[in-house]
Chain A
Amino acid sequence: MNTIAAHIADFLKDYQPFDNLTFEELSEIATSIRVVNLEKHKTLFQINDVLHDSFYVVASGVINLSVIADAEETLLNKCHKGDIFGLRPFFAKNNYMMTAKAREESIVYAIPIATFRPFVANNTLVLNFLLESFATNTPNHHDKENLRGKLISDNVFYSDQQSEIQYFQSLTYNTSPLTVLTTAVIKDIAKLMTEEISSSVIICENNFPIGIVTDRDMCTKIATGRFQITDSIATIMASPVITVVENVSLAEAQLLMLKYNVTHLCVTLDGTAKSVVKGIISEHDLIIAQASNPGVLIKEIKRSQTPKDLKQIRERLTDLIQNSIHKNIPISHITNIASEINLAIIKRSVELSILDLGSPPARFAWLSIGSQGRKEQLLMTDQDSILVFEDVTPDKYREVKDYFLRLGRRTTATLEKVGFDLCPNGHMGSNMLWCKSLTDWTKQYNSWMNTPGENSNDLSSLFFDFEIAFGEPKIEEALENIIFKNAKNNTLFFDFLGNDALKKNAPLSFFKKFIIEEDGENKDKFDIKTRALMPLIDGARLFTLHYNIKGVNNTYMRFKQLAMIDPKNAEIYLNCADAFQTLSKFRTIEGLKNDDCGQFINLNEMSKIDKEKLKNNFAPMRELEELIKGKFKLTQFS
């Protein structure tokens, strides 16, 4: 009899999830509790601390849960009397992802995981509560009020792109597990497992799983000499096998492993042991699924059915970008990941259109042009695309073009729903001007490049940056070849492009002051896109075409490549590459702040240091300009 334990049990029974347990069970739990007093501002655990062996219940006071990024503390949740927190050790093995700190002098009960685990395993209500509590993610504080006193988020992936969805995503697992018969000999199985690099083998009878042998069994039962290696596998197998249905979620799998204390789950057709084996889920698969991996987003994109799904994923990408920038991850890495994900979204949008419209009557390619084509799109900017389809007989042409126009319209509409605005200039595959056959495109590029200026209204340099999003890669190659063939010794063309690059407005006035917009809705703001980024982008493109560098579309990579090909001017190129990265970052931060494309920067909101930093990055631009003038024998007024 322990009077205080009884009091604590009495206290706990009023709160979830303890209200699902009997008084006797609670008394047992209470007996193993440690009572901890936290003075004001005392930290109980912090990010990256090794997991404690207990989770916590607030007995009195308030505990703040927070994450720290860039020396800034972001409050995630406040735990009041009766709230539970610090659940991470239940579900994960890595360190704490948040900081728990007493906002005022507080007393917390530390409940050892080891004591509580059996109650979790035996009581589904408790299990569900903990899972919900753990999986609830409230970095955005919208619904926090609803959660008050009910759930305390414990699973903050502030810096990773993981979110609640991942807990309910399905798992990737080994779909061709090793299966053997009960009569098999242990030694042979061990050999087989070694050859196949498999950590487990399922023992089947009539194709139904009846047992499982893992590395661990080999270790504990064979290596210890308890069984002979000549014995049949059935003597050492663990039976019955824990079976699950095919599309089990990460969360379910995790809980089942926890519940049955196993490391492997067998996937069967209907989820029972009386059906055919479809695969095996190991703990390792769970770890992979939890790893911060943009692959998760891509996979989800591939599985999306509606523009709404895609929109959600794109929003998560925005979070990912924002957090990555906060964490000072190099902008080139972020752009790589972001453009892969953007590309996957575009690809899926085209796929969804095809699913609706039926299979295309001819081969085609959907090319992203402009910033997405250069893989530099971090923010939700306009969508720019072209559609190229293979040549068909004249009698079919109308019909085919009609199909692809519909495809284009549908796809651009989907992308619009996702959040990519339609291009105001109509540079999209849905525009009949930019949805045509390969021959027509060849003509188009020929006329642009050989007689530039004559129809210059049409020519936009963004057509020279493209990246295939969907379709036949050969078509992209063909276009590339046409461009490079035409570019060879084409002074006229380079003249035109060069002048185009140079005519961009300078960022600074004669007195080294920022040139800001004089009127319009962005009055007094600095146009970083036109005045700072475009000259670099145009310059990079100009030189890559000139040096015949294929397959490099990214401005940063183009400069890097140029530095190698033209070592004389390597320094200029490398400076430009760096400047480009920094300027992109400025633009991205501005865009994230205002939720727009970040084209206009409000200088008044910038610190002096940032302004200087911005100015410094204009220097390489001047050098690049001089280089262009020299190389292509241009003067400002030619």
Chain B
Amino acid sequence: MLDWLKNINKEYPEFWKEYLSKFETKSKRFVVLSTETSGMSPVKDVILSLGSFAIVDNSVVIGDNFEAVLLQYKFLHDNGLSNEFIVESKMKKLVEPDAIKSLIGYIGNAVLVGHHIHFDVEMINAALDRLDCGRLKNEALDVDVMHRKLLDINDKQFSLDELCDIYKIPKSDRNSASEDAYKTALLFLKLKSRLGI
């Protein structure tokens, strides 16, 4: 309850201070983010991989991306899971603290975009907590919420696949955080122009 009092004089890691300082200005950049996790609990589960792209001037900037596989050796070992997919993956492999650090540096003050982005934000917040940092300060937009707002639907949620069907975004057989982030990015562009924001 009085957590914030405990934290008030706490010295944050350098990267976090730098992150906070970025919020002095407002960003026109959007970062589409998608995480792959071991489960649905922010407390018990961990992020296995991250994928993200920047959107500037209504276009996805392919080069401005961040993706990584997180080496969760301890978690996998504790839960008796195989780490084969990590070994096979050609993506950049980082341990969690490094990955989160890089991600924070990458997103900066951009507006986050994702599918059910609040879950991703919670997962990242949990990881940040383990690094003695505060919570993400970025604004976040959820493509599902945008879609429901567009059609004025309140009683139903849409999965990423369903949204892709509705907006005719080609689905690929390959599935990864980056893949999801890219699809979300296209969804976002389409929804953005339809909503006129």
**Chain A residues near B (Cβ < 8 Å):** 1-5, 7-8, 30-37, 39, 42, 60, 105, 107, 110
Chain B 175-197: CB-based contact to A (< 8 A → 1; otherwise 0) = 01011001001100110011000
In the bound complex, CA of A29 to CA of B168 (Å) = 26
Tell me whether A4 and B63 are in contact (CB under 8 A).
Answer: no
Known A37-B186, A37-B189; judge A105-B168 contact (CB<8 A). Answer: yes
Known A1-B90, A4-B179, A105-B190; judge A34-B59 contact (CB<8 A). Answer: yes
Tell me whether A32 and B58 are in contact (CB under 8 A).
Answer: no
Q: How far is the CB of A56 from chain B (nearest CB, A)?
A: 11
B60: A residues at CB distance < 8 A: 34-36
20 pairs, CB–CB < 8 Å, chain A vs chain B: A2-B62, A3-B67, A3-B91, A3-B174, A4-B65, A5-B62, A5-B65, A8-B62, A31-B62, A31-B63, A32-B63, A33-B62, A34-B61, A35-B59, A35-B185, A36-B189, A37-B186, A37-B190, A42-B193, A107-B186
* B82 at the binding interface (Cβ < 8 Å): no
A7: B residues at CB distance < 8 A: 172, 174, 182
User: A109: nearest residue on chain B (CB-CB)?
Assistant: B62
In the bound complex, CA of A320 to CA of B13 (Å) = 71
- Selected from A1, A32, A39, the residue in CB contact (under 8 A) with B62 is A32
In the bound complex, CA of A32 to CA of B176 (Å) = 21
Q: How far is the CB of B54 from chain A (nearest CB, A)?
A: 10
* B108 at the binding interface (Cβ < 8 Å): no
| A3, A32, A105, A110: most-surrounded residue (chain B CB, <10 A) | A3
In the bound complex, CA of A1 to CA of B92 (Å) = 7
**Chain B residues near A (Cβ < 8 Å):** 51, 53, 58-63, 65, 67, 90-92, 168, 170, 172, 174, 176, 178-179, 182, 185-186, 189-190, 193-194
- Selected from A1, A36, A105, the residue in CB contact (under 8 A) with B58 is A36
B194: A residues at CB distance < 8 A: 39
Tell me whether B168 and A34 are in contact (CB under 8 A).
Answer: no
B179: A residues at CB distance < 8 A: 3-4
In the bound complex, CA of A539 to CA of B92 (Å) = 88
Tell me whether B62 and A37 are in contact (CB under 8 A).
Answer: no
Tell me whether B91 and A4 are in contact (CB under 8 A).
Answer: no
In the bound complex, CA of A110 to CA of B170 (Å) = 19
Tell me whether A34 and B62 are in contact (CB under 8 A).
Answer: yes
In the bound complex, CA of A511 to CA of B51 (Å) = 83
Tell me whether A1 and B59 are in contact (CB under 8 A).
Answer: no
Tell me whether B190 and A39 are in contact (CB under 8 A).
Answer: yes
Q: How far is the CB of A25 from chain B (nearest CB, A)?
A: 15
In the bound complex, CA of A361 to CA of B111 (Å) = 88
User: B189: nearest residue on chain A (CB-CB)?
Assistant: A37
Q: How far is the CB of A484 from chain B (nearest CB, A)?
A: 72
List the 9 closest A-B pairs by CB distance, nearest first.
A37-B189, A35-B60, A3-B178, A34-B59, A36-B59, A31-B63, A4-B182, A39-B193, A33-B62
In the bound complex, CA of A42 to CA of B91 (Å) = 36
In the bound complex, CA of A166 to CA of B63 (Å) = 39
DSSP class of B's interface residues: helix, strand, loop or mixed? Answer: mixed
Tell me whether A2 and B186 are in contact (CB under 8 A).
Answer: no
A-B contact sample (4 more), CB < 8 A, given A3-B67, A5-B63, A36-B60: A2-B178, A30-B62, A35-B62, A37-B186
User: B185: nearest residue on chain A (CB-CB)?
Assistant: A35
A31: B residues at CB distance < 8 A: 62-63
- Selected from B59, B90, B170, B178, the residue in CB contact (under 8 A) with A4 is B178
In the bound complex, CA of A7 to CA of B91 (Å) = 14
Q: How far is the CB of B6 from chain A (nearest CB, A)?
A: 40
B67: A residues at CB distance < 8 A: 1-3
B178: A residues at CB distance < 8 A: 2-4
In the bound complex, CA of A3 to CA of B179 (Å) = 7
B65: A residues at CB distance < 8 A: 2, 4-5
B61: A residues at CB distance < 8 A: 34
Q: How far is the CB of B168 from chain A (nearest CB, A)?
A: 7
- Selected from A4, A37, A42, the residue in CB contact (under 8 A) with B53 is A4
A42: B residues at CB distance < 8 A: 193
User: A30: nearest residue on chain B (CB-CB)?
Assistant: B62
Q: How far is the CB of B49 from chain A (nearest CB, A)?
A: 10
Q: How far is the CB of A43 from chain B (nearest CB, A)?
A: 13
In the bound complex, CA of A525 to CA of B191 (Å) = 58
| A7, A8, A35, A60: most-surrounded residue (chain B CB, <10 A) | A35
Q: How far is the CB of B64 from chain A (nearest CB, A)?
A: 9
In the bound complex, CA of A37 to CA of B90 (Å) = 29
In the bound complex, CA of A8 to CA of B168 (Å) = 18
| B63, B170, B186: most-surrounded residue (chain A CB, <10 A) | B63
B90: A residues at CB distance < 8 A: 1
User: B91: nearest residue on chain A (CB-CB)?
Assistant: A1
B51: A residues at CB distance < 8 A: 3
User: B176: nearest residue on chain A (CB-CB)?
Assistant: A3
Tell me whether A37 and B63 are in contact (CB under 8 A).
Answer: no
B63: A residues at CB distance < 8 A: 2, 5, 31-33
Tell me whether B58 and A37 are in contact (CB under 8 A).
Answer: yes
User: A42: nearest residue on chain B (CB-CB)?
Assistant: B193
User: B57: nearest residue on chain A (CB-CB)?
Assistant: A34
User: B172: nearest residue on chain A (CB-CB)?
Assistant: A7
In the bound complex, CA of A60 to CA of B172 (Å) = 14
| B59, B61, B176, B182: most-surrounded residue (chain A CB, <10 A) | B59
In the bound complex, CA of A194 to CA of B190 (Å) = 58
In the bound complex, CA of A632 to CA of B179 (Å) = 91
Q: How far is the CB of B167 from chain A (nearest CB, A)?
A: 8
Tell me whether A37 and B193 are in contact (CB under 8 A).
Answer: yes
Q: How far is the CB of A108 from chain B (nearest CB, A)?
A: 9
Tell me whether B170 and A60 are in contact (CB under 8 A).
Answer: yes
User: A107: nearest residue on chain B (CB-CB)?
Assistant: B186
B91: A residues at CB distance < 8 A: 1, 3
In the bound complex, CA of A107 to CA of B58 (Å) = 11
In the bound complex, CA of A179 to CA of B169 (Å) = 62
B53: A residues at CB distance < 8 A: 4
A1: B residues at CB distance < 8 A: 67, 90-92
Q: How far is the CB of A357 from chain B (nearest CB, A)?
A: 66
User: A28: nearest residue on chain B (CB-CB)?
Assistant: B63
- Selected from A5, A8, A60, A110, the residue in CB contact (under 8 A) with B59 is A110
In the bound complex, CA of A323 to CA of B40 (Å) = 66
In the bound complex, CA of A163 to CA of B67 (Å) = 48
B170: A residues at CB distance < 8 A: 60
Q: How far is the CB of A7 from chain B (nearest CB, A)?
A: 7
Q: How far is the CB of B158 from chain A (nearest CB, A)?
A: 18
A8: B residues at CB distance < 8 A: 62
In the bound complex, CA of A4 to CA of B91 (Å) = 12
